[in-house]
Structure 1
């Protein structure tokens, strides 16, 4: 099961999907860098990662994987935890900042999407214009909610694994470190084979649509 298998792969949808991926990955990595810097680590700033310029965050092969295999990655933000007063707590917050930023982006774009219709900004425009707006905002919301849930899976090198690692006792962390090198192979196996249906399927079937629906309901009173 591909991570983005539920998206239309027609060429006319590709620009919207790539735009959504670019926004999602850039905000995600910037958020890691920003929170780490706030906790006193100059490494992200020194590495040029404290920016919303996508060129600083996108990985060539990761982007190509998104295009051809419908999943991929950005350049990881390097963090030096020696600068943190409470390394484990700060580490969890720095790690969680990435997925949380994607959820916030999804919420804001859903709000903007609903606003364009409820204030009549698209009244009288062509069907093509409506199609562009729906495709763009729909992809941005969907991809960012996906990135929120996907990155919380406890598989290396995803953020969820780092959070579990920081929460685990020292002995367990040492044990996790012994097998971490194999995590990327497990991740790729799940991502590009039918085995992923059992791991990632509930995210597509339940988590993502339920979250988008809940956000929509939460915003609806603003336009009543």
Structure 2
């Protein structure tokens, strides 16, 4: 079954990756969607940090000698409580488009074995929003325990006109997406538990690294990164 996937990666290499199963029938809601979807629609949601090494090209021939390589550390993951990693090589298309082929290997949670994979990605250029002089991004993070002693881990990332988050509270998982639509942020995906620590048009406008904000569910989030660019 195919999935609707969105990955947001900050300048500091923090990322959120959510993969939502496509509808099985015409009666199942498609994305974007304002209603809460069942957890069965979540193929995978995870967040963490990435480390990359640049590609090496032959300066004489212009050919690719070694592709860029990235390792992703899953700090929070909908499939496991453990910290896991996956890694892959990135091969841009030779036609100069924004499509990239990723080839790599990682542990398949269903089998527990390291297996090869390949995925196609399309890079999207973030836009500058109305009222903002530059393109903006920021990262919110939470790590604590709730009143029941369950581990709470979550990350929310904004890149331009997109915001996406993953939260895990014990065995409970929540994912959310928002997109800027004209003059306001609109929710485009919600599964499970993740209460935003901001409201409507004011989402993430008061950003300062180290500043803490409270979610509607009492979870405290902290800004750990902020970046702006032309």
Whether TM-score is above 0.5 comes out as no
Give the TM-score, by structure 1 length: 0.25
- Relative to total residues, which structure has the larger strand share, 1 or 2? 2
Give the TM-score, by structure 2 length: 0.24
Greater relative CO (CA pairs within 8 A, separation 6+): 1
- Relative to total residues, which structure has the larger helix share, 1 or 2? 1
